[in-house]
Each structure stands twice: as C-alpha cells, then as structure tokens.
Structure 1
Amino acid sequence: MKKSRKILTMDDISARNQELVNGFWNWMETTDRARIVKFNVPGRTLRSIFDSDPLESTTLIDTMSDKIKRYQSVSPFRKQQFKITDPAQWTEDESLGGSLDIYSCYSIFKLWWLSQSIDKEEQQSPLQIIQVGRKYSCHPGSDKRIVLCLLKPQARVRCFYVHYPEFDPSPWHWTLPYDEVNTPDELVEMFHCANHHTFRFFHTNVKIDGHTFHVDDYHYKPFALGLHKAAVKYRKIKNKEKFEVDIDHLTYVDAIHRMGMMESKDMIDDIYFKNDWTFQLGEFKFLLVNDTWLPESFVKAPKSLIDSKYKTNTLTANSFTNNRPNISRHRLGQ
C-alpha cells in the first residue's frame, strides 16, 4: 500500500530553494513571457509525443537499446565491482572516481530500480516537459520516462511544462485537460520530496542568438538546445547576426533515487544476457532484432510506421492496407 504524504509548501523547502523559486516567479510575473502548467497523461500517449518527429531517429526504444549495448560491453568483473561503488562514482568523469563502465552499469540498473520503486511508491516528482523545436522531450526525467512510458506504461503520468508562448504558439497541452500553476506553493506541492536535502530548484538566464545558445550550467543544455531549435523551426531568426533573446528558466534536480539505489545494488544481479540475442532486465525481456534491442512485446510490431527495415521483412512486419478508392494507384504504391 502506498503511503499517505504531507502536502508541501514553500515553508517546507530550504531558504535557497525559496529564493530560486521566488526569483523565477518574479521574472515570470513581471515579463508575462511564461506560464507554468501541469497535467496528467497516460504513459503510452506521452511516448507517442516523445517519438512524434519522423525525422528524429532517437526514439525511446533506440535510447533503451543503446543503454543495453553499452552494458553488454562491460566486463563481468566491472559489473560486480559496481556493487562496491558509491553514488559519487556513478559518473563518466574519471577525476571523480567514475568510469564509462561504472556509469553504464548505473544507467541500466537505474531503470530496473525505478521500475520497482514505482510499484511501491507513487511518482515522486513530475516529468518536466521541454520543447525541442516542434516536438517535446523531458529534462530532468529522461530515464524515468523510459520506465513510465515504455517498460511499465502508467495510466497517469504527472507532468509540468514551463510554457513560453513566443516560442510555442500552439502548445500540445492545449489538447489536454490542464491547470495553470498560479502560486509558488502550487509549484512546490507537485514535488513530494521537495524538502529532501538533495532536492534543488534551478533558476537561470538562458541566452540564444542566431547561431547557438549560451548557458552557465550543463543542466540547462537540453532546454536551451530545444529553445534554439524552436526559434529556427518557427522562423524567429530573421537575421542571424542581430537575433538575440534572453529568457529565464526554472528546473530542478534531486539525488533521492541514488540513495535508494545505494541500498539495493545487489539487484544488478537481476540484469544479465541469457545469450547473444536475449537480455533480461529483471522482469523485462529484450530480444535483439536488426541490431536493435526490442522489448519482447515489440518484436512483431514495427518501431514506427515509417520504419523501412520492418516494411521489407515479411516475417516481422505488420501489414497496412489502404482500400480507399479515391487514393490513386501511385499513392498506394508509395
């Protein structure tokens, strides 16, 4: 049974976090250039939004497959060595005691741990949706979305979005029931662990020009990159040499999951390769098909309707037949 929880307000978070939230709120209210909205959406629907761009090759399945491939390259010794590491080492930065192998173990283990955590506790923090050109992604929460939308699709995924109308004039959330977040207290209330000592809000200024973006912290890079793509997609940049925009952004980070993972590192023994084409992530089985690790339930379905690999493989393809008489034979053959 999931535990009841205390609803948090600004009074429950650190003075520094209060300062950061209030700073962004003041900017938002005085400039009227952004609004925060919150909404709930089924995991499968959310996945279709993340994977909606036919020109974007990196779907959730591709992201998951890449994680498995990296884990496959790690030696058995290094996998066992992961059990004696601590969260400070779960990084690719060797100067901090980490390594690519240890980070690969952490990255795949985190998915297995999160999938089990979701069964025991409700979603602790909402996914933060960010704009990437004309499509959407999320940051933070890139690993969490794999669990919530692909491995164990949830009927209700809590999300929030900092909406900048000048860059997203027809936002996706308008197609959903949504609520505006009208006060700082309403913002804090969405984060069930905002009073944890590892939880931190971030507020900074992001600059984009006609050529690129500028941020003070790597944590803002996904948002800034997406905003710059939106400026290009919506033809905001008329003159590359003169175009320049300053905009504030609010996001968050926490390390609560790392503390839980620290106590459960033996669960990495539940992650293994049965053979060269079968991978087990705890209860989740993956099969290697056309150099991509697919969840077992996806093996006889196309990754997308435009995936040529599956169109030409009659053993694994689903057939789509168009019987409409008003479609020309030329179009039917495309």
Structure 2
Amino acid sequence: MPPITLLRFLEMQKLLSDSPQLLSVIMGIAQSCKSIAREVGHGALLGNMGDVGNENVQGEQQKTLDVMSNEIFIKLAEDNPNLAGIASEEMEHALVFSGKAGDYLLVFDPLDGSSNVNLNLSVGSIFSILPRPAGDSVLVEQDFLQAGTQQLCAGYALYGTSTMLVLTTGQGVDGFTLDTASGEFMLTHPGMRIVSDTQEFAINMSNQRFWQPPVQRYIDECVAGADGPRGKDFNMRWVASMVAEVHRLLVRGGVFLYPLDSRTKGKGGRLRLLYEANPMGWLLEQAGGLAATGHRRLLEIEPIALHQRVPVMLGAKEEIELLLSYHSLKDPTA
C-alpha cells in the first residue's frame, strides 16, 4: 500500500468536500513548516543562529530564526484568502487583513524552544486555527479571544532528527513525516494515543523551591520511587521545548508540567494560553490524555488577553487526575 500524503489524508477526513477553505489553510501551514524546516536545517551555514538584538512582546530575546519563522507565517496568511487575521507570540497585536473575507483566524508560536537553536536541539512551531466570529464585518483583536474548545485544527511541527507535522481536526491525532525526496508530508504515525499510566515526568526541577504544595507533593512522590507511596520508579526528562516535550508524551507517554509558582503567580503562569496551552491541550485530549491548570480544564478558559499566560499540566490521564486531586485538598501535603 503506497504511503498516504497529508493532502490525501485530509481528503479522506472529508475536508475537501466539507470544508475546502479549511483544507487550504492547513496545507498552507504545512508548506510554511517546510520552509521553516529548511531555514532551521541550514543553521549556521546561512548565519541565522544568533540573536537579533531585540526583545519580543514577551520580554524574551529574539533569535534570527524567531523573526524568520514569524515572517514565513505572515506571508502564508497574506497569500491565503481564507485567513482574515493572525496573532503571533512574536507580535504585540493581532494582524488583521482589511478587505479579506476569510472565515478563519490563525494563532501561532512560530518557533517554540528557540533558545535551543544554538545547541542543535529540537525546536518546533505550534499553531491553532479558530473560526472567525459569525456576523463580524470588521475583525477586531477581541475576536481572537476564544476558548480552546472553539479550535478547528491544532498542531505542531517538530524540527528534529526528521521534520514531523502532528495535528488534529477533532478526529484524533495523526503524525506525518516530511519526505525530503518528494517534499511531501507522509502519514507515519496514525491514531496517536497517550498511555493512561506512566513512569516519566517532564518539569524544570530548578524551579522546585517556587512550586506550590500540590506540585511539590506530586514530584516528591515520583522522586521517592519504588520505596515511596507510588510504588514505582520514575524518570525525569526536560528539553526546554514544549513541542519536543509534547511529542514525547504522544510517542512514549508521561506528563509535562509547567505549574504556577511563586514567581509566575502575578503573571498567571508561564506559558501562553492561545499559542501554546490551547493547541497542545486539545492535541493531548484528542489523544486520550488530559490538559489542566491544576484547578480546571485548560480548554474551558475564556481568554481575556492576547498574550495571557496560564499554568499547564498535560499528559497521561491518571497522572493529571492525581494532580487535580492534590490541588483540591485543603491540605495538599497530607
């Protein structure tokens, strides 16, 4: 049986007949990710591994590849008649295309984990497609503030040992690997599912002293291993790239945690709701996992700001449920 291309797969999901405009947007995103993969792959050969000397709206030092990746997504949106506007982690305000009657909005993190580029570690792009609110003749920034339950498509591209595109349109999660010979994304990981149980967690342990008691308890129990209350040994992983962390969850299982702590409490959390938490949260739920803040489901949060931050807990269903139970206790250390 010949390999199935991304386009053929989406046609099999009836996107061509039911929503050809959405299909056009997804294929445009795939093309953009191919372009970014080429830029990342050339790395220092083209001199695009350094800083540009500016901070983005998040207060983070921009890499050359951050800017290049963002421009590639902007070009996609400008050229696609079905996109009425975009919002990026790299831009302070949404970009609205006047005169375009497109039915969709695109929000994205053009290059997640860009602090890793000089180390030649995995980086990626995260994206989410939202519906343009019905009846709005003039698109405004407020129209982008939609709960994660409104997403029509979400996914990421991983630029690692191979380039992969992983996405959902609400019919499960499927992974595609870029065939560099043909230039096509081929279905290689159909029906990706996250196992309910795990013995692996991903968290930045250097922040341990700032965590809240429920997270302290959970990690202490994991570290205690077979002699502790969990009765089994755990491994810890940390790549500092959300795309790489989530990809590992889908392939091997586990949990990824970026919890609220005493330093990020005033900001609401560390990760961005629209560009990171919602798309990754929907992917994990579509793969059988759970996505939460510690107190509630991520996808039910009604955004109040374009760059809103939230605590994030993603992964194996049983583990996230345990974390939620610890957060609900009056004394989470008991």
TM over 0.5: no
**What is the TM-score normalised by the length of structure 2?**
0.25
Q: Which has the higher contact order (CA 8 A, sep 6+)?
A: 1
**What is the TM-score normalised by the length of structure 1?**
0.25
